[in-house]
Amino acid sequence: MSILGWLLPAVPIVTGVLLLTGRFVFGRSLDRPAPAIAIGAALVALCLAIAAAMVRPTVQFPLFGRLPAGLAVDGLSAALVLTVTAVSLAVLLFSAGELSPDESRARFFGLMLVFTGAMLVTVTATDLAVLLMGWEVMGAMSYALIGFWWREPRRVSSADISFVTTRAGDLGLYFAAGAALVGTGALSLSDLAAADGPWRDLIAAGVVLAALGKSAQLPFSFWLSRAMDGPSPVSALLHSATMVAAGAYLLLRLEPLLAATGWAATLVAWLGALTALLLGAVALAQRDLKQLLAASTCAQIGFMVLGAGAGAVAGGAAHLVAHAAVKSLLFLGAGAWLSALGTKDLMELHGAARRHRLLGVTFGIGLLALAGAPPLSLWATKDTVLSAAFEHSLPLYAVGLAAALLSAGYAGRALFAVARPIDAMTRTDTEQVGTRHISLLEKLPLPALALGSAALGVFALPLVDEAWRNLLGTGREPGPGPAELALSGALVLLVLALTWVFVRHGGRIRTAWAAPAQHWLHLERLAELLIARPVFTLATALARFDDRVIDGGVRATAATGRLASALAGRRVEVRVDGLVRAIGRGTRRLADLARRPQTGQAHTYYAQAAVLFAVLILIVLLVR
């Protein structure tokens, strides 16, 4: 059944490429059927994913030399392909409702399909080369999608920043591939943990760098803030099942490698925990709903990264799957309100949940799940990760728990903002002119995603978790006991209550204290000041150096040549030529002299002959 392994990524990618190129053949008329075609392809992909999850196809093909390369669906991949295709279908359905027909929909849906297909390649790849192919194409698609409204320079800049930042991380994978070649003689993911000696550390370093960049973990988090400039459905897909999830997936997949090195596991665990904590604080300080959700994505991915570092592969994967449902739901909801009410400012969204009941209810479920409220999904999955962190070290657990409580805080803040009644201060259309309408297609995926947000936590609960671990093929992992679950649930509810009290009393966080959090810890400014600008300055300086010094040297050589020739021409040549001319003049004068005797008269010749004869006789006489 290897054909299935090919078809799974090929269907969305080929359909996407056809939509993208078809636009230039059929013109704008393709924009009308594009959503239907894309949804059809996504549906087929979902069916293929279900089939692949059951059949577990494996594809092997030669790529470089004799190095084996391939695609395969194992337990973890099965969970991922189902998540990716399901979320992608939901998001495409929503997009079909949201994107007006006068947008270039063929381009949008084409890019979304290739984006999805690239993620499918990434999560089914069995070696670093194929993984990197999906990985980087995904980055390029996110560039094109974030910059979808390309006429606006800010959005294009955001796309630039996203691509360059994530590619900076991707360099790690190129390096890891080289190190893997030395360490294991091949590129297979499954052998990386067995690489010898220092090569294992180098591979791990490259992989960690790539994963942190893609997953917007510290210090790369800022690109995710800029990624918000894309259309809402793009955020819904990019923040849930693709792109940022890829980094977490890679770390979960290569957990044995991290564990084998020791330091990499600890580093990753701490970076994940710190990202969860600090970006949680960032989320808490945001006024813009989409920025809040973006920061919360970094924070939640932080839990998955923490899970990979702490050895909780099943817990981390469960968190990934459940978070994908939650976050796609929330971004679709925020996007629906943005297009209907024209705002994503939390202060102006008051009453939003009451105006649009279905959206309000599902959005509320999503936020409660994000908060970690029992019995919704992220409550249990996060606790699985935390209990693994507890086994690792107590400070790690404490940071993780604090981050979990922060997520209750920011989710609560967003929840109370949209749930409280509309008031006199609420203004709509602060960003764009809203349509005041949410279409059926936009509503359609929300209940399913809400159900997922509520229920997908079962994978982390006792009884079901064993089946989940069997699916992923991971060993026994420390799970949370009932007491832990109850405690964290109670704490979350307490934080939610406190947040409610705080919001109700119109509490505001002191801005001076919150400034770094509001500005995403100033990471983008730091990256610009410390890296982007110095590199560009260096480039400009080198360009000048190239013109003046290197090419200057060439020009100077040429000029020296010209100077030498001028010198030769004016000084040396004049004298040499003068000599030649002098010889010429002398010869001519001699010739003139020689012509004199040639008179043509016989008596002169006779006289000359007589003189010559006399001279000859004289010589003969004298010499003898």
Partner 1 sequence: MNVLSLVIFLPLAVALGLYAVPGLGARAVTWTWIAACAVDFALVIAMWIGHGTGDGISYETKVRWIPSVSAGYHIGVDGLSLPLLALTSLLFLACAIYSLRQERQVRAFAALFLFLQTVSLGLFAALDLLLFFVFFDLSIVGMYFVIAGWGHGDRMRSALKFFLYTFLGSLALLLGFIGLYLGAEPHTFDMVELTRTPPLAGSTGLAGLVLLAIGIGLAIKTPTVPFHTWLPPAHTDAPAAGSAILAGILLKMGTYGFVRIAMPMLPDAWRRYAWVIIIVGLIGVLYGALVAYAQEDLKRLIAYTSVNHMGYIIVALGAAGALGDQAARRLAVDGAATQMVSHGLITGALFLLAGVLYDRAGTYDMGRFGGLAGRAPVFSALVAVGAFASLGLPGFSGFIAEFQIFAGVIGSGGTGLVVVGALAIPGILITAALFLRLLHRAVLGPPGELTARVTDAHRSELGAVVPLLAPAVVIGVAPRFLLDVIEPASAAVISLVAR
Mask 174-193, x = binds partner 1 (CB under 8 A)?
xx-xxx-xx--x-x------
Q: In this complex, which beta carbon is closest to partner 1, that of residue 64 or of residue 263?
A: 64
Quick one: which of 490, 526, 530, 539 contacts partner 1 (CB under 8 A)?
A: 539
14 binds partner 1 (CB under 8 A): no
**Number of residues that this document lists for the chain:** 624
Given 94, 163, 223, 410, the residue binding partner 1 (CB under 8 A): 163
**6 touches partner 1 (CB under 8 A):** no
**Per CB under 8 A, 18 contacts partner 1:** no
Nearest-angstrom CA–CA distance, 331 and 301: 16
Of 62, 85, 61, 82, which is closest to residue 73 (Cα–Cα)?
82
Assess contact for 247 and 209: CB atoms under 8 A. no
Q: Omega before 219 cis (within 30°)?
A: yes
Distance between CA 435 and CA 335 in Å, rounded? 12
Question: Min. distance of Cβ 238 from partner 1 in angstroms?
Answer: 18
From residue 351 to residue 390, the character string flagging contacts with partner 1 as x (rule: CB under 8 A) and all else as - is: ----------------------------------------
Which phi and psi (to 5°) does residue 68 adopt?
-70, 140
- Token duo for residue 134: 């999906």
Per rule CB under 8 A, count of chain residues that contact partner 1: 52
Q: How far is CA 271 from each of CA 208, 268, 310, 547, rounded to the nearest angstrom? A: 10, 5, 11, 44
- The contacts of residue 523 (CB under 8 Å, 6+ apart) are 218, 219, 220, 221, 222
Task: In whole angstroms, give the CA distance from residue 102 to residue 23.
Answer: 14
Cβ-based nearer residue to partner 1, 551 or 577: 551
H-state helical runs in 185-219: 197-214
Q: What is the DSSP letter of 72?
A: E
In terms of CB distance, is 261 or 343 closer to partner 1? 261
CB-CB neighbours of 100 under 10 Å: 10
- Using the rule CB under 8 A, is 150 a contact of partner 1? yes
2 is an interface residue for partner 1 by CB under 8 A: no
DSSP one-letter code for 432? S
Binding to partner 1, residues 118-137 (CB under 8 A)? 129, 132-137
| CA dist., res. 185 & res. 194, Å (int) | 11
Which of 1, 36, 54, 64: binder of partner 1 (CB under 8 A)? Answer: 64
How near is the Cβ of 504 to partner 1 at its closest, in Å?
45
Using CB under 8 A as the criterion, what x/- string covers residues 461-490 for binding partner 1? Answer: ------------------------------
Distance of CA 111 to the CA centre of its chain: 15
600 binds partner 1 (CB under 8 A): no
Q: Which one of the spans 232-240, 335-343, 512-520, 551-559 is the region binding partner 1 (CB under 8 A)?
A: 551-559
* Residues at the contact surface with partner 1, assessed by CB under 8 A: 24, 62-66, 129, 132-137, 140, 143, 147, 150-153, 156-157, 159-160, 163-164, 167-168, 171, 174-175, 177-179, 181-182, 185, 187, 202, 535-536, 538-540, 542-543, 546, 550-551, 553-554, 558
